[in-house]
Amino acid sequence: MKRSERFIFFDNINTTFPDPEVIDIINKTLVSRLGNPSSHVHSAGISAGAAIDAAREKVSSLINASGGSVVFTSGATESNNLAVRGFFAANPRFQFAFPAIEHYSIMNQAVDLRKNNVKVKTISIDSSGIVDLDSLEEIVRGHPAFISVAPANPEIGTVQDVPAISEICRRNGAVLHCDATAAAGLMELDVAEMGIDLLTLSAHNMYGPMGVGALYIGKNINISPLFAGGNQESGIRPGTENIAGIAGMGQACRIVKDGIESYRDHLKRLGLRLWRGLADSIQFIHFTGHEEKRLPGHVSFWVEHVEGESLLLLLSMNGIMASSGSACSSNLKGKDESDLAASHVLTAIGVPSDICAGSITFSMCKDNTEDEVEAVLEVMPGIVGKLLEMSPSYEDYKKGKEIHHG
């Protein structure tokens, strides 16, 4: 099949393209003859520090972080590690708890924490990915706990009731961390109003550059650095700062803060049209995540008898880019191609592995259009139909149906 010249990017949950304003400020920063921001004795170093301070103020403004501090990092994974490992290095007597749908940069830290005698617990969720508040209450009652819950899940789009989660944490003396990588730019984040103690941000998920992130740290939270170095970022994140990237992240935060109300409504319309169009035209489709409590412009599903990776490949051949929470993802513990592991998110919400061979996520951004949604709806039925014709499990399904009706 010849690849299409069409380019429809519906994989914005994994990365967004930098906004032109972000690119402009990065370019200007790179040619501004800025020195090392740690060089406080000359104008080039002072100007570099001022550029970082300006960006920090924009990030703080986006999340209303006036009561705490914002530390710049290399991205969400480092921010999550700094939040969790940094906290437990300073507060070893706490227990660690999170839902089973969290990002690997949260979940995989539990392995080392257990080796250091930290108790790790899993917060129950329902079939749409919503946190069970009674389960959370039981975990935090009577024992100091560090809770990590993402405000929104990137694979299934479900949005959590963070204020309710925070209220339980506050009442029981627990600390709440939120990985807002998927949420920032799509929903409003106010760490003061929502009662969040630590918050992870990623620039490239909200129209900024790759390789830059931030961690908000509440004023009463003690964090130890992950590695030794100088006194950059108040000594919490040593190493010379990426000034151009940080400036770009700051500008991205300003763009998101100023425009989120208008483009959020636009994304809701696109998402609703795509959801309904797929529901009306695709046989054996099962949507994942909460139907209403979900990110705008986010549609996730799986199709019985159809492999997610095959669907993703044919979409790409048609110039449409999406993402897959595949049930055929390589297991990190094995090297054999047959050693496959289901998406941990799909498994956690109870998707049946015997008939689900992978999920698809369509995620849109402020620049996507209605015409692009219609183009996806035009090609999807044919792609799914072709894959069903090639599916052994679909053949078995048809034979079973014939026998049943025979």
Show the tokens assigned to 30. Answer: 């790179």
Q: Which of 87, 118, 83, 117 is nearest to 102 (CA)?
A: 83
Residues 362 and 282 sit within 8 Å (Cβ to Cβ)? no
Active centre residues (catalytic) = 328
State how far the Cα of 101 lies from the Cα of 202, in Å rounded to an integer. 19
State how far the Cα of 5 lies from the Cα of 10, in Å rounded to an integer. 16
Residues 133 and 168 sit within 8 Å (Cβ to Cβ)? yes
Residues 307 and 343 sit within 8 Å (Cβ to Cβ)? no
φ, ψ (nearest 5 deg) of residue 300: -130, 145
Q: CA-based angle 7:8:10, to the nearest 5?
A: 145
Residue with tokens 């909460």: 290
φ, ψ (nearest 5 deg) of residue 357: -115, 30
Residues 306 and 385 sit within 8 Å (Cβ to Cβ)? no
State how far the Cα of 315 lies from the Cα of 387, in Å rounded to an integer. 12
Q: Which of 261, 248, 271, 163 is nearest to 202 (CA)?
A: 248
Q: CA-based angle 187:190:194, to the nearest 5?
A: 100
Residue type for 400, please?
G
